[in-house]
Structure 1
Protein backbone atom coordinates (compact mmCIF):
# COMPACT_ATOMS: atom_id res chain seq x y z
CA UNK A 1 0.00 0.00 0.00
CA UNK A 2 2.68 2.43 -1.06
CA UNK A 3 -0.03 4.93 -1.98
CA UNK A 4 -1.63 4.95 1.51
CA UNK A 5 -2.27 8.45 2.87
CA UNK A 6 -2.50 9.67 6.44
CA UNK A 7 -6.21 10.29 5.95
CA UNK A 8 -6.65 6.52 5.41
CA UNK A 9 -5.95 5.97 9.11
CA UNK A 10 -8.37 7.00 11.87
CA UNK A 11 -5.61 7.15 14.51
CA UNK A 12 -2.05 8.50 14.20
CA UNK A 13 0.69 8.27 16.82
CA UNK A 14 3.71 10.58 16.53
CA UNK A 15 7.10 9.32 17.71
CA UNK A 16 10.56 10.85 17.46
CA UNK A 17 13.28 8.65 16.07
CA UNK A 18 16.17 8.04 18.42
CA UNK A 19 19.88 8.05 17.67
CA UNK A 20 19.96 4.36 18.59
CA UNK A 21 17.30 3.56 15.94
CA UNK A 22 19.88 4.07 13.18
CA UNK A 23 21.96 1.14 12.03
CA UNK A 24 25.45 1.12 10.54
CA UNK A 25 23.99 2.08 7.14
CA UNK A 26 22.66 5.37 8.55
CA UNK A 27 18.95 4.61 8.51
CA UNK A 28 16.38 3.22 10.93
CA UNK A 29 16.88 -0.53 11.19
CA UNK A 30 14.02 -2.71 9.94
CA UNK A 31 13.44 -4.33 13.34
CA UNK A 32 12.67 -0.89 14.82
CA UNK A 33 9.55 -0.59 12.65
CA UNK A 34 8.05 -3.54 14.53
CA UNK A 35 8.68 -1.68 17.78
CA UNK A 36 6.84 1.31 16.30
CA UNK A 37 3.90 -0.97 15.42
CA UNK A 38 3.79 -2.50 18.88
CA UNK A 39 3.95 0.95 20.48
CA UNK A 40 1.20 2.38 18.25
CA UNK A 41 -1.23 -0.50 18.86
CA UNK A 42 -0.65 -0.96 22.58
CA UNK A 43 -0.50 2.74 23.47
CA UNK A 44 -3.81 3.20 21.66
CA UNK A 45 -5.42 0.34 23.61
CA UNK A 46 -4.00 1.60 26.92
CA UNK A 47 -5.13 5.20 26.38
CA UNK A 48 -8.59 3.94 25.43
CA UNK A 49 -8.74 2.08 28.76
CA UNK A 50 -9.13 -1.40 27.28
CA UNK A 51 -5.67 -2.82 27.97
CA UNK A 52 -4.32 -3.37 31.46
CA UNK A 53 -0.81 -4.71 30.86
CA UNK A 54 -0.35 -5.68 34.51
CA UNK A 55 -3.62 -7.20 35.67
CA UNK A 56 -6.01 -7.60 32.72
CA UNK A 57 -7.74 -10.97 32.41
CA UNK A 58 -7.10 -11.04 28.66
CA UNK A 59 -3.98 -10.25 26.68
CA UNK A 60 -3.30 -10.18 22.98
CA UNK A 61 -0.46 -12.14 21.41
CA UNK A 62 1.09 -11.22 18.07
CA UNK A 63 0.67 -14.19 15.71
CA UNK A 64 1.53 -12.54 12.38
CA UNK A 65 3.29 -9.38 11.27
CA UNK A 66 4.92 -7.98 8.19
CA UNK A 67 6.27 -4.79 6.71
CA UNK A 68 7.03 -3.40 3.25
CA UNK A 69 9.65 -0.65 3.13
CA UNK A 70 9.47 2.13 0.54
CA UNK A 71 11.68 4.97 1.81
CA UNK A 72 14.28 5.03 4.58
CA UNK A 73 13.84 6.83 7.88
CA UNK A 74 16.80 8.22 9.83
CA UNK A 75 17.44 10.11 13.05
CA UNK A 76 16.28 12.87 13.65
CA UNK A 77 13.12 12.21 11.59
CA UNK A 78 9.74 12.35 13.28
CA UNK A 79 7.62 9.28 12.57
CA UNK A 80 3.83 9.28 12.32
CA UNK A 81 2.27 5.82 12.62
CA UNK A 82 -1.20 5.57 11.09
CA UNK A 83 -3.35 2.83 12.62
CA UNK A 84 -6.49 1.15 11.32
CA UNK A 85 -8.26 -2.17 11.76
CA UNK A 86 -8.57 -4.09 8.50
CA UNK A 87 -10.31 -7.14 10.00
CA UNK A 88 -12.08 -7.62 13.31
CA UNK A 89 -12.76 -11.29 13.98
CA UNK A 90 -14.12 -13.17 16.97
CA UNK A 91 -10.83 -13.53 18.84
CA UNK A 92 -8.38 -11.79 16.49
CA UNK A 93 -7.78 -8.40 14.95
CA UNK A 94 -5.64 -7.40 11.98
CA UNK A 95 -4.14 -3.95 12.25
CA UNK A 96 -2.64 -2.15 9.29
CA UNK A 97 -0.09 0.57 9.89
CA UNK A 98 1.28 3.30 7.67
CA UNK A 99 4.63 4.81 8.60
CA UNK A 100 5.00 8.43 7.54
CA UNK A 101 8.27 10.39 7.69
CA UNK A 102 8.09 13.99 8.90
CA UNK A 103 5.50 15.80 6.74
CA UNK A 104 5.59 13.36 3.81
CA UNK A 105 2.17 12.65 2.30
CA UNK A 106 2.93 9.08 1.25
CA UNK A 107 4.03 6.28 3.52
CA UNK A 108 7.64 5.27 3.94
CA UNK A 109 6.58 1.79 5.07
CA UNK A 110 3.38 -0.21 5.39
CA UNK A 111 2.84 -3.03 7.82
CA UNK A 112 0.36 -5.34 9.44
CA UNK A 113 0.11 -6.78 12.92
CA UNK A 114 -2.32 -9.54 13.99
CA UNK A 115 -3.34 -9.98 17.61
CA UNK A 116 -5.13 -13.05 18.98
CA UNK A 117 -6.81 -12.55 22.34
CA UNK A 118 -6.12 -15.13 25.05
CA UNK A 119 -6.91 -15.64 28.71
CA UNK A 120 -3.87 -14.48 30.69
CA UNK A 121 -4.19 -17.37 33.17
CA UNK A 122 -4.44 -20.21 30.65
CA UNK A 123 -3.13 -18.86 27.35
CA UNK A 124 -6.31 -20.18 25.71
CA UNK A 125 -7.94 -18.25 22.88
CA UNK A 126 -10.87 -16.12 23.98
CA UNK A 127 -13.30 -13.73 22.31
CA UNK A 128 -12.24 -10.09 22.09
CA UNK A 129 -13.75 -8.40 25.16
CA UNK A 130 -16.83 -6.29 24.39
CA UNK A 131 -15.25 -3.00 25.52
CA UNK A 132 -12.17 -3.68 23.37
CA UNK A 133 -14.33 -4.63 20.39
CA UNK A 134 -16.26 -1.35 20.69
CA UNK A 135 -13.01 0.65 20.67
CA UNK A 136 -11.57 -1.34 17.76
CA UNK A 137 -14.76 -0.93 15.76
CA UNK A 138 -13.96 2.78 15.57
CA UNK A 139 -10.73 1.96 13.72
CA UNK A 140 -12.23 -0.36 11.09
CA UNK A 141 -11.27 0.72 7.59
CA UNK A 142 -11.00 -2.28 5.23
CA UNK A 143 -8.22 -2.07 2.69
CA UNK A 144 -7.61 -3.77 -0.66
CA UNK A 145 -4.78 -5.79 0.92
CA UNK A 146 -6.97 -7.38 3.59
CA UNK A 147 -7.00 -11.16 3.17
CA UNK A 148 -10.39 -12.90 3.03
Structure 2
Protein backbone atom coordinates (compact mmCIF):
# COMPACT_ATOMS: atom_id res chain seq x y z
CA UNK A 1 0.00 0.00 0.00
CA UNK A 2 1.43 3.44 -0.87
CA UNK A 3 2.35 5.70 1.99
CA UNK A 4 0.05 8.57 2.78
CA UNK A 5 1.25 11.86 4.16
CA UNK A 6 -0.78 12.83 7.20
CA UNK A 7 -2.88 15.97 6.93
CA UNK A 8 -2.03 18.92 9.14
CA UNK A 9 -4.29 21.55 10.67
CA UNK A 10 -3.16 23.96 7.95
CA UNK A 11 -5.01 21.78 5.40
CA UNK A 12 -8.37 22.83 6.89
CA UNK A 13 -9.99 26.19 7.52
CA UNK A 14 -13.05 25.26 9.62
CA UNK A 15 -12.86 23.32 12.86
CA UNK A 16 -15.31 21.75 15.26
CA UNK A 17 -14.22 20.70 18.75
CA UNK A 18 -15.53 17.36 19.99
CA UNK A 19 -14.94 15.51 23.22
CA UNK A 20 -14.25 11.83 23.46
CA UNK A 21 -16.35 9.78 25.87
CA UNK A 22 -15.45 6.96 28.22
CA UNK A 23 -17.61 4.65 26.10
CA UNK A 24 -15.54 5.46 22.97
CA UNK A 25 -12.57 3.46 24.33
CA UNK A 26 -12.40 -0.21 23.40
CA UNK A 27 -10.73 -3.13 25.15
CA UNK A 28 -7.43 -2.24 23.46
CA UNK A 29 -7.32 1.09 25.33
CA UNK A 30 -7.92 3.45 22.41
CA UNK A 31 -10.90 5.04 20.69
CA UNK A 32 -12.72 2.41 18.64
CA UNK A 33 -12.83 2.92 14.87
CA UNK A 34 -16.63 3.26 14.91
CA UNK A 35 -16.39 6.41 17.06
CA UNK A 36 -14.29 8.14 14.38
CA UNK A 37 -17.19 7.91 11.93
CA UNK A 38 -19.38 9.53 14.57
CA UNK A 39 -16.86 12.37 14.98
CA UNK A 40 -16.78 12.92 11.21
CA UNK A 41 -20.56 12.97 10.82
CA UNK A 42 -21.05 15.18 13.88
CA UNK A 43 -18.46 17.74 12.70
CA UNK A 44 -20.09 18.22 9.29
CA UNK A 45 -23.63 18.39 10.63
CA UNK A 46 -22.60 20.77 13.42
CA UNK A 47 -21.14 23.18 10.86
CA UNK A 48 -24.32 23.00 8.78
CA UNK A 49 -26.53 23.60 11.82
CA UNK A 50 -24.39 26.51 13.06
CA UNK A 51 -24.57 28.09 9.59
CA UNK A 52 -28.38 27.84 9.67
CA UNK A 53 -28.40 25.42 6.73
CA UNK A 54 -29.75 22.31 8.46
CA UNK A 55 -32.73 22.21 10.76
CA UNK A 56 -33.04 18.72 12.19
CA UNK A 57 -36.44 17.20 11.48
CA UNK A 58 -37.60 20.18 9.43
CA UNK A 59 -35.27 20.90 6.48
CA UNK A 60 -36.97 20.08 3.18
CA UNK A 61 -33.61 18.98 1.72
CA UNK A 62 -31.34 16.48 3.50
CA UNK A 63 -28.02 14.78 2.80
CA UNK A 64 -27.92 11.01 2.40
CA UNK A 65 -24.53 9.34 2.78
CA UNK A 66 -23.60 7.50 -0.43
CA UNK A 67 -19.98 6.60 0.41
CA UNK A 68 -17.59 6.88 3.35
CA UNK A 69 -14.12 5.91 4.42
CA UNK A 70 -11.45 6.57 7.01
CA UNK A 71 -7.68 6.18 7.24
CA UNK A 72 -6.21 5.80 10.73
CA UNK A 73 -2.74 7.09 11.57
CA UNK A 74 -2.45 7.09 15.35
CA UNK A 75 -4.64 6.23 18.33
CA UNK A 76 -6.70 8.64 20.38
CA UNK A 77 -7.86 7.86 23.91
CA UNK A 78 -10.44 9.08 26.38
CA UNK A 79 -10.27 11.90 27.63
CA UNK A 80 -8.67 13.41 24.51
CA UNK A 81 -10.26 16.40 22.81
CA UNK A 82 -10.74 15.97 19.08
CA UNK A 83 -10.52 18.95 16.73
CA UNK A 84 -12.23 18.05 13.46
CA UNK A 85 -11.06 20.04 10.44
CA UNK A 86 -13.63 20.07 7.64
CA UNK A 87 -13.16 20.86 3.97
CA UNK A 88 -14.94 20.08 0.71
CA UNK A 89 -12.93 17.88 -1.66
CA UNK A 90 -15.44 17.82 -4.51
CA UNK A 91 -18.66 19.69 -5.15
CA UNK A 92 -21.14 18.56 -7.77
CA UNK A 93 -24.68 19.59 -8.65
CA UNK A 94 -26.34 17.53 -5.91
CA UNK A 95 -23.43 15.77 -4.19
CA UNK A 96 -20.53 16.86 -2.03
CA UNK A 97 -17.46 15.03 -0.75
CA UNK A 98 -16.61 16.20 2.76
CA UNK A 99 -13.07 15.51 3.96
CA UNK A 100 -12.43 15.60 7.70
CA UNK A 101 -9.11 15.52 9.54
CA UNK A 102 -9.27 14.51 13.19
CA UNK A 103 -6.62 16.03 15.44
CA UNK A 104 -5.94 14.98 19.03
CA UNK A 105 -5.58 17.72 21.64
CA UNK A 106 -2.94 20.19 20.38
CA UNK A 107 -1.26 17.88 17.85
CA UNK A 108 -0.71 19.31 14.37
CA UNK A 109 -0.92 16.02 12.41
CA UNK A 110 -4.18 14.14 11.97
CA UNK A 111 -4.74 10.94 13.93
CA UNK A 112 -7.32 9.99 11.30
CA UNK A 113 -8.63 11.31 7.98
CA UNK A 114 -12.09 10.46 6.81
CA UNK A 115 -14.53 11.39 4.11
CA UNK A 116 -18.11 10.93 3.17
CA UNK A 117 -20.22 11.82 0.18
CA UNK A 118 -23.59 13.42 0.76
CA UNK A 119 -26.22 13.36 -1.97
CA UNK A 120 -28.83 16.04 -1.39
CA UNK A 121 -32.37 14.72 -1.65
CA UNK A 122 -35.88 15.89 -0.89
CA UNK A 123 -36.92 14.85 2.61
CA UNK A 124 -40.22 13.44 1.36
CA UNK A 125 -39.38 11.86 -2.01
CA UNK A 126 -35.68 11.00 -1.39
CA UNK A 127 -34.90 12.06 -4.97
CA UNK A 128 -31.65 13.96 -5.71
CA UNK A 129 -31.98 17.74 -5.83
CA UNK A 130 -29.52 20.50 -6.75
CA UNK A 131 -28.06 22.35 -3.78
CA UNK A 132 -30.00 25.37 -2.56
CA UNK A 133 -28.03 28.55 -3.43
CA UNK A 134 -27.26 29.37 0.24
CA UNK A 135 -25.94 25.86 0.87
CA UNK A 136 -23.83 25.93 -2.31
CA UNK A 137 -22.20 29.22 -1.25
CA UNK A 138 -21.37 27.73 2.16
CA UNK A 139 -19.93 24.54 0.64
CA UNK A 140 -17.82 26.57 -1.81
CA UNK A 141 -16.33 28.37 1.20
CA UNK A 142 -15.07 25.00 2.48
CA UNK A 143 -13.17 24.08 -0.70
CA UNK A 144 -9.42 23.95 0.01
When normalised by structure 1's length, the TM-score is 0.92
Q: How far off is 1:107 after superposition? A: 0.7
**Within 5 A, what are the aligned runs for 1:125-140?**
125-140=128-143
SS in 1 for 2:17: strand
Give the deviation of 1:7 after TM superposition. Answer: 1.4
Counterparts of 1:17 and 1:50, CA distance in 2:
26
Q: CA separation in 1, counterparts of 2:70 and 2:5?
A: 11
Aligned with 1:79 (options 63, 79, 82) = 82
CA RMSD in angstroms comes to 0.9
Deviation, 1:10, is: 1.2
Residue 27 of structure 2 corresponds to residue 57 of structure 1:
no
TM-score, reference length from structure 2: 0.95
Structure 1 residue 14 displacement after superposition: 0.9
Give distance in 2, aligned partners of 1:78 and 1:55: 31
Counterparts of 1:2 and 1:51, CA distance in 2 = 33
How do residues 28-47 of structure 1 correspond to structure 2 at under 5 angstroms?
28-47=31-50
Residues 99 and 110, structure 1, Cα contact 8 Å, conserved in 2: yes
Confirm or deny that 1:12 pairs with 2:7. no
Q: What 5-or-longer segments of structure 2 have no aligned partner?
A: none
Deviations 1:86-139 (A, max 9, x none): 111000000111011111111111111110000011010111111100111110
How far apart are the structure 1 equivalents of 2:5 and 2:85?
Answer: 13
Q: Which runs of 4+ in 1 moved over 4 A?
A: none
1:54 to partner: Cα distance: 1.4
